[in-house]
Amino acid sequence: MPDLPRVKVGQIWADNDSRGYSRQVKVVVLTDEYAFVEDVRTVRRTRIRLNRFRPTSTGYRLIQDA
């Protein structure tokens, strides 16, 4: 597996899912299994499993590092 960026508080990630409408999220809290994020546009908060932060069609790609 290639070296993937480590998820850190303050990073901004973009949703690769075509149904995501170019959603960008900012990481605000990390746990062992989840990243709690806020949508950059709507400030809506949600959680995402850490294993989804990889550049696949249903994953996320790093836009801005912390």
**Tokens at residue 61, please?**
């790609």
Q: What is the pLDDT of residue 35?
A: 96
Q: What is the pLDDT of residue 20?
A: 62
3-state secondary structure of 50: helix
Q: What is the pLDDT of residue 2?
A: 59
Q: What is the pLDDT of residue 11?
A: 97
Predicted confidence (pLDDT) per residue in 2-56, tens digit: 566 799 999 999 999 888 678 999 999 999 999 999 999 999 999 999 999 988 8
Cα-to-chain-centroid distance, residue 35: 8
Q: What is the pLDDT of residue 17?
A: 84
For the chain, the distance separating the N- and C-terminal CA atoms, rounded to the nearest angstrom, is 23
Q: What is the pLDDT of residue 55?
A: 86
